[in-house]
Amino acid sequence: MNTHDGDIIVRSLTHGAAFADLYDRHQRVIHRYVSRRLGAGFAEDITSETFLVAFARRASFTGGLDARPWLLGIATVLMQKHARLEARAWRGMLAVDIARVHVDDIETAEERMDANGLAPHLGTALAELNRGDRDVLLLHTFGELDYAGIAEALGIPLGTVRSRLSRARRKVRTAIAPYVTPAPRREREHHRG
């Protein structure tokens, strides 16, 4: 029988050790999310702190089957204390991270990105976003949450998630547009056909 996250949290209210099951399920996701935003050096501490906060607040969990949005929301709030570190990490983004930032699928058949050359520009664009827009974009990209999960993680309406994500994508796309080179004409025609 597959136990849902909500069941684990309820059980942990009377048997605290049961919370370890939630940690086992989601530790890697939280660690990866924090690592992509702040760098590997801070991921362990923020991940641990996320689960400590979650354990302390487990009685207030109102989610259902999946605690991932709740946990990613806690991690996001904790990372806001490290905004300067995060901005430095974006400027040093790796090409592999660039490929994960889907700005309306900027790497389309009509565009070819030089990921190494684009990384500093994308990092700067992310640093210039307001915190709300940046959190929505990075929860979607690095936290791999859908719109409903982001709304739950940040405690905001679904419409706000949509508008923030749209605005963030538009701003980032505009900021990096000068650094994205069009694919050769023949390649564009081939992908359209």
Q: Establish how many alpha carbons lie within 13 A of residue 185's alpha carbon, considering only the half-sphere containing its beta carbon.
A: 0
State how far the Cα of 183 lies from the Cα of 40, in Å rounded to an integer: 34
Residue 188 vs residue 33, higher pLDDT: 33
Under DSSP, the state recorded for 35 is: H
What pLDDT, on the 0 to 100 scale, is given for residue 158?
94
pLDDT at 134 over 70: yes
Q: How close are the terminal C-alpha atoms of the chain, in Å?
A: 48
State how far the Cα of 139 lies from the Cα of 116, in Å rounded to an integer: 23
State how far the Cα of 42 lies from the Cα of 67, in Å rounded to an integer: 22
- Tell me how crowded residue 59 is: count the other CB atoms within 10 A of its CB: 9
Residues 43-94 pLDDT 10s: 899 999 999 999 999 998 987 789 999 999 999 989 887 766 665 555 555 4
